[in-house]
Amino acid sequence: EAAVSATMKHLLTLLVMLGSFQHALPESYSCSASEFKLDGEYILGGLFDIHHRSSSVVYNRPVIVDCSRQSFTLSSYRMFQVMRFAVQEINNSSLILPNVSLGYEIFDHCSDTFNFQAILNMISRNGSIQVLRCVNEYVSKVIAVAGPFRSMESMTVAPLFAMNLIPMVNYGSSSSVLSDKWKYPSFLRTTASNKDLIQLIILIIQHFNWNWVAFVSSGDENSQNGLQLFKSKLKDTKICLAYAKELNEMSDHYEILQQLEDLSIEVIIVFARQSSAVAFIKSAIKHNIHSKVWIAGDSWSLNKNLPRLSGIKAIGTIIGITETVMPLPGFKDFVYLSHTQRNNRPTTCEQTPSGRTCNQACDLCSDVSPEEIIGENPSYSFATYSAIYAMAHALHNLLLCDIKGCSDNVTVYPFMLLQELKRSNFTILNRHIEFDSNGDPTCTSYAIVFWNQSGQAQKVGSYETDPAVDVPFSINNTKIHWYADQVPVARCSPECSEGFAKKKDGLHQCCFQCNVCPGMTYVNYTDNPYSCINCRKTEWSKPGSTFCTQRSVEYIPFTDPVAITLMFSTGVLLALTLAIVILFALNYDKPVVKSAGGPMCFLLLGCLSASSISVFFFFGKPTVTNCVLRYFLFLLFYTVCLGCFAVRSFQIVCIFKMATKFPKIHSWWVKHNGQWWLIAIVFVLQLLLLTTVFTASPPTPVNDMTSYRDQIILKCAMSRTVIMFLLLTIVLASLCFIFSYMGKDLPKNYNESKAITLYLLFLILTWITFCTASILYHGKYLQLFNAMSVLSSSYSILFCYFLPKCYIIIFQPQKNTQQHFQGIIQRYTQNISSK
């Protein structure tokens, strides 16, 4: 919007001046200025701010500014001489435009609002401007224009040249706004666009790992465009713009420098016009600013005077960016020759009675020595040189030139030259010249310079925009001598240690606190360094991690040594059970077998074997089948075992106590086989409970991800309804203990109740141990504890109840007789009766 309003202001000024142009033009340009004007068949226009009008004065009537009375700019005068040198070199060459002479009309363009008479002169024909219906047939005084230098000046005059598509090949305007071909269709440039300059600055900042910087600009269009581009490009970086300030004539440099100190900013980008930048650096020296890094824009990075100032080294390290300086062979001789000719011929401009000047005079130029011109900042010399050669090559193609000469039957219109310029593709001084669709150069070479101790701009790096270059950006760090002998740190906050997430502290993302990421989370510095990301369910991490590790999947395989031991023990138990069955079958009619339960022993041993088989299903990767079988077999058949012991305990009490005190009850129990009915009821009831519960909510394999952060435990999970069938098991165990305790005073040599009581104590101790372990430990070996508890429960029956009877059968046969048992019972009955 600012650019549009400025352009409107300029156009209104132009309209005011148009009324006087027809009368002023012949008188104003009747002067002779040999350096500003050269006759030729084709005239090239040139706009150079040899003098610069810095103050803003408001006039109440149209005026023409006398540029020769403004401040002199030596660097622009050098570019002015480069254009004259290039035209002379082309005219002296027989390769580009043989038998065709180029001329030029150059104006001192010291203001972007009060120099329109020069522009109107260029687009005029025979001293007047005609409004034609067909602009394609219009031939202006100049066929192309080089300049002006500043971006705002180019944006002001470009629409006037665009009316007839007169090509503007610019050498110094780098604002990216001028790349818009809808607004500036005839604008091309041989200098780099700000977008490349700003990209280079960002690359330098990133190279040294800085992120806390300041950007100091001036009020001109070029600097403001650079600031806008810098802000837009920061969005994709980790760089923070801590401070931005525009310099103008009223700026308080001390206040700005103090603000930079208060914000602890170590890197300062000064992307401003040369006069503003020089004044700002001088203020930094004056106010004793120390130990900073100054990144100089291309306007002052090769300044010849600043490095000579006393105290320049104290302000810190100065790194500059500039287009690679290309030496111009023959330019030095040309400058010396021009100086001699200028001294021998006056170049003052005749003034009209009205006092108007044609701005083709330079009174101070004769005072400038050739050494000063040659030693001045050469930043834009090659851009000026290549702009003139681009026009000549385009004209060469239009005139169909060859070794013999150029055609004289071709009428060259400006729009034709513009089209040919857009197709430019040539090499000069080993540099390729070509324009992209925006009129910007496709290949630009930049130099990164360091102001060394001797005050010279030493090249320390390069940047190439040519995509064919393998290494477009490089800096030789060893060539830079830092004020602190090491790369300065320019960060708002020190970088977080590994595994710490950043917590934004203030407005800028570069200012943060560091918080360690807890376990099961990690921080990804590439995607989002400001948050701790949760690991996936199958992953884990320690506190302060930058990545997650896959959890190990844990279960007891069949090849586990402990699993093999338990399965072998189960096999031994089954073998012992079979042996006992055979032994009891062979001694079925003997008193020991009958007293142990007779046929109930075989049921007990069979259920014991069936419940022990469940141990095999505790190993391997859990499936629905082995989860069901490991619990179903044990809970069903071991409950039957408990039922048998409950009945057996009850029978013992009945035989030794109830038979004498309650003979009728005992008679009824024996007559109707009450023990088998009770066992059958227990079996059916437990079978119904298990079937109902396992059908509704069977044990299923689950992945335990909560017990251990680094492991996934594969196990079988049972629902809370397991309490329903555990109740029956607990009731039977309780009845066994009660009945066996009631028989504690039975005969010493015939006391099965003591054996059952001992077995129950082992059983209770086993499962209390397992319950305690399951509360304290949740790893994969809990399945082993479960299997060991099952096996221990089975072995306790075998060792406490059956093996003592096997011992009597095998090693004490004298006790395995009817007389022995009857004698024990009679003595016990007599003792009870006597009481």
pLDDT digits (tens, 9 = 90+) for 437-492: 999 999 889 999 999 988 889 999 999 988 888 889 999 999 999 988 889 999 99
37, HSE (Cβ side, Cα atoms, 13 Å) = 18
Task: Tell me what the mean pLDDT of segment 158-181 comes to.
Answer: 93
pLDDT at 71: 85
Q: Does pLDDT of 23 surpass 70?
A: no
Q: What is the dihedral of CA 776, 781, 782, 788, to 10 degrees?
A: -120
Homologous superfamily in CATH for domain 561-826:
Rhodopsin 7-helix transmembrane proteins (1.20.1070.10)
Using one digit for the tens of pLDDT, what is the confidence trace for 194-237?
A: 999 999 999 999 999 999 999 999 988 999 999 999 999 998 89
Q: Which of 24-38, 109-123, 502-516 has the highest mean pLDDT?
A: 502-516
Over the stretch 12-22, which tens digit does the pLDDT of each residue have? Answer: 344 333 333 33
Angle between helices 274-286 and 253-262 (to 10 degrees): 70
| Rounded mean pLDDT, 549-554 | 92
Determine what percent of the chain is predicted with pLDDT higher than 70: 85
**Residue 345 pLDDT class (50, 70, 90 cuts):** low
pLDDT of residue 656: 55
Rg of the chain over all Cα atoms, to the nearest angstrom: 52
**CA neighbor of 554 nearest in space, from 789, 777, 775, 790:** 777
pLDDT band at 495 (very low <50, low <70, confident <90, very high): confident
Strands 240-247 and 212-218: parallel
**So what's the pLDDT on residue 56?**
60
Give per-residue pLDDT as tens, 717-769.
876 665 665 677 777 777 777 776 665 555 554 457 778 888 888 888 998 99
Q: Is 362 exposed, middle or buried (0-12, 13-18, 19+ CB in 10 A)?
A: buried
The domain locations on the chain are: 2-193+336-366+378-416, 195-326+446-479, 500-550, 561-826
Which residue blocks in 163-252 are alpha helix, DSSP H?
A: 194-207, 221-233
Locate the DSSP E strands across 465-525: 473-475, 500-504, 512-516, 521-524
Tell whether pTM > 0.75: no
Mean pLDDT of 791-796: 92
What rounded mean pLDDT belongs to the chain? 85
Tell me whether the CATH fold assigned to 2-193+336-366+378-416 matches the one assigned to 195-326+446-479: yes
Residue 658 confidence (pLDDT) above 70: no
* Res. 27 pLDDT band, cuts 50 70 90: very low
- Using CA atoms, how far apart are residues 509 and 240, in angstroms rounded to an integer? 7
For residue 9, pLDDT over 70 is answered with: no
- pLDDT for 575 equals 95
CATH class of 195-326+446-479: alpha beta
pLDDT greater than 60 at residue 24: no
pLDDT at 353: 37
- Distance CA(20)–CA(547), nearest Å, equals 77
Question: CATH for 2-193+336-366+378-416?
Answer: 3.40.50.2300
Per-residue model confidence (pLDDT) at position 255: 95
470 compared with 280, residue with greater pLDDT: 280
For 698-718, write each residue's pLDDT tens digit. 888 998 888 888 899 999 887
Write the CB contacts of 685 (distance below 8 Å, at least 6 apart in sequence).
728
Name beta bridge partners: 447: 322, 462
pLDDT of 356 over the 90 cut: no
Mean pLDDT, residues 346-369 taken together: 62
Instruction: Of 176, 442, 427, 395, give the one whose Cα is nearest residue 326.
Output: 427
Helices (H) and strands (E) in the chain, counts: 24, 27
pLDDT score of 18: 39
Three-class SS of residue 603? helix
533 has a pLDDT exceeding 70 = yes
